[in-house]
Structure 1
Amino acid sequence: LGTAFDLSGNDVKALEYYKKGLAIALRRNDIGNVAHLYNNLGTTYGKQHNHTQAMVYLKKALELTSGPRFVESRVSPMMNLANVYAEMKVIHKAMEYYTEALSLARKTGMGMEEAKILHAMGVVQSMEKQELHPALEEAYQLAKRRGNRGQQISILKDLAKIANRAGNYEDEVIFLKEERRLSDSIFNMEKMKEIARLQEKYELNKSRNQVVALKEEGQKGVETRNQIILIACMLGLSVVTLLFLFIRTIMLNRKLSSREKELAKANSIKDRLFSIIGHDLRGPIGNIPALLHIYRQDETTEDAKAFILDSMEENSIASSETLDKLLTWGNMQIKGQTRNPVAVEVDTIMDNKLRLLKVAANNKQISLLNKVPKGLTVFADEHQLNFILRNLIANGIKYTREHGTVETTAGHYAGGFIVFSVSDSGIGIDAARKDRIFDPENKSTPGTANEPGTSIGLMLCKEFVIQNGGKIWVESELGKGSTFHFT
């Protein structure tokens, strides 16, 4: 602070802060800074022409720097003391201190201080002798070598003054021109520095403004981002809600569709049941009251009564068979048929079926041939296999004329399956009916002895075969019999 006030020309404030600093340095016993502050105080008092105080402080500085540690620190107070003596016109004392200071500066390599001392010595000697002293030229060349333009200008000004006093105006003009050139260059350099500082300041302010703008933009960006996030969250929530409702609607539609299919299936089953009841049961059962009425008539002969009883028995058997198949099919459609596969000995089933169907075959003098290999075992649902064989053999008897044959065979089929075949020498099936023989809509036709049909037997056979992992098909030609195969 003292130096700042000193450079600004406020000697009073400079002395105040120098003394405050000196008090602190003395308390800390900081010899280096004490000597430095003594030198500053002496120099400032010298500028005020207070030679007494100046000499007191400068000599104190020299006393503190008398040791070998402070050789460099002695140069400045010694030169300043010489300046005080020069101002007091005590030239010999001034030259004494200048000479000693110059010697120390040269020993310690203090080029700038050396130029200052030579400059001061040259001015004092030149003013004393009214002619240019070589020390000034030496000082100028040293300042020039060091590139110290400020020092060069100061020396040139003094050279011009001395030349003017000596009446050497030509040299004065030369010195002034060189001084002006250097001053202009320094001025330009200062201007360039000032422009550079202004440019830096402009760039700094520009950068700060950009930072502020970026912060504002960033804040706006954050606000915009937050708004976008909020909107995205709301949209996401809306999408999730819509997706949930959409999926729920699809599931409800699927359930509704499933229920509709179940209802349609139930209606189809109901319609089919009523159709079968109306078509296949009404006829045989409806004939019984009429036959009973004839049977009770007095004029009915014994032979007629025997025929009526046979007809009623036949109708009852047909109705019972129809009801059995109808209940099996209806129960399977409504509750769902469960399959219970086990190892089944085919011999047992075939013996049982042929024994039960032998009466019907004998009535038409039809030969039942069993060519299924002995000891054959299959893995299937026993009740379903029983039903399939009984139905196919019974159909063969029904649609075969008297003295015909119905033959059952079995053999190995692809994939580890067994293929069963039931062949008859009956009336055969026309091509149109053969393609839909297993369909629920297929209408049954009477047998060769006018036996009634149920129309659902083959449909059940197909469903049972499929449930056991097999397939069923028919080979037939009208008038040449039929062969039903299933695996």
Structure 2
Amino acid sequence: LSIISHDLRNPITNTQTILSLINKGALTEEESKTLLEQLETQYINTTGLLDNLLGWLKSQITGKELEKTDMNVYEIMNGMHLEQKIALMRKRIKFINNTSSDSNIMAEKEMIKIIFRNLITNAIKFTSLDGRIEISYTHDDTHTYVRIKDSGIGMSEEILQKVNAQKYFTRTGTLQEKGSGFGLILCRDLLQKQGGVLLIESAKGEGSTFTVKLPIN
């Protein structure tokens, strides 16, 4: 909790300092431009963390039984593509949706969107310029599998162990975006509530594949 509080408070304090310097005219035009770009990145990161916290809190306090619906992955991912278009363009990342109109899953609507949004945001964060993110879908008699594969920097064995142990930690993306691991903790929690599992394959320098495994019934 103290680490999360720090990650929320620190950008706010930093924003106040930067805006004060700009208002006082203490910076050159180039310095102001660089710091404003930094503020934009901080805003995106802080908003993402707040969204995750709200999503987690909502999942903890609701007393209602989950209402799963039949959802099409192709449509969900097209929506995610549009939602993340600016972030993808910033890094010139190709978003390849290999799913189809037959790629269906049974899931709680809002929870699954939070899960996919986190996984795609994570993939963008740790993928370098001109990289790629591929979405694929398979199923067997009992489960559906949605895979989000990126050509990013991957994870070392140490980082992978922290992720699997659901530990909160700080990690920097390819354009200095801040990552904490909280999004993945949330994904696992929301999947568990639906009888699902998050599977992770990754190696340093070789990208990562996140698989959302959900029961068919």
Q: 1:303 to 1:384 in 2, by over 3 A?
A: same
Q: Please state how far the C-alpha of 1:433 moved relative to its aligned partner.
A: 2.4
Instruction: Name stretches of at least 5 consecutive residues in structure 2 with no aligned partner.
Output: none
Aligned to 1:352: 79
Aligned residues with identical type, % of pairs: 30
Aligned to 1:486: 212
Q: Residue 48 of structure 2: SS of its match in structure 1? A: helix
Aligned to 1:227: none
Counterparts of 1:295 and 1:337, CA distance in 2: 49
Aligned to 2:127: 400
Instruction: Name stretches of at least 5 consecutive residues in structure 1 with no aligned partner.
Output: 1-271
Aligned to 1:277: 5
Of Structure 1 and Structure 2, the greater strand share is in 2
Counterparts of 1:393 and 1:423, CA distance in 2: 9
**Greater RCO, CA 8 A, separation 6+:** 2
Contact 1:475-1:484 within 8 A present in 2 as well: yes
Aligned to 1:475: 201
Q: Residue 374 of structure 1: SS of its match in structure 2? A: coil
Aligned to 1:152: none
Summarize the alignment of residues 254-403 of structure 1 with structure 2, pairs less than 5 Å apart.
272=1, 274-278=2-6, 280-335=7-62, 338-403=65-130
Q: Please state how far the C-alpha of 1:338 moved relative to its aligned partner.
A: 4.6
Q: Residue 169 of structure 2: SS of its match in structure 1? A: coil
Q: Which runs of 4+ in 1 moved over 3 A?
A: 333-338
Q: 1:336 to 1:449 in 2, by over 3 A?
A: farther
Aligned to 2:151: 425
Question: Which TM-score applies when normalising by structure 2?
Answer: 0.89
Contact 2:74-2:97 within 8 A present in 1 as well: no
Of Structure 1 and Structure 2, the greater helix share is in 1
Q: 1:456 to 1:338 in 2, by over 3 A?
A: farther
Counterparts of 1:337 and 1:392, CA distance in 2: 26
Coordinate RMSD, CA, aligned: 1.9
- Which AA in structure 2 matches 1:445? R
- Which AA in structure 2 matches 1:283? N
Q: 1:305 to 1:352 in 2, by over 3 A?
A: same
Aligned to 2:175: 449
Summarize the alignment of residues 126-165 of structure 1 with structure 2, pairs less than 5 Å apart.
none
Deviations 1:343-398 (Å, cap 9, x if unpaired)? Answer: 11222211110111111111111111111123322221111111111111111110
Question: Which TM-score applies when normalising by structure 1?
Answer: 0.42
Q: Please state how far the C-alpha of 1:438 moved relative to its aligned partner.
A: 4.2
Contact 2:94-2:133 within 8 A present in 1 as well: yes
Q: 2:185 aligns with which of 441, 459, 462?
A: 459
Counterparts of 2:64 and 2:15, CA distance in 1: 34
Q: Please state how far the C-alpha of 1:288 moved relative to its aligned partner.
A: 0.2
- Which AA in structure 1 matches 2:133? V
Q: Residue 41 of structure 2: SS of its match in structure 1? A: helix
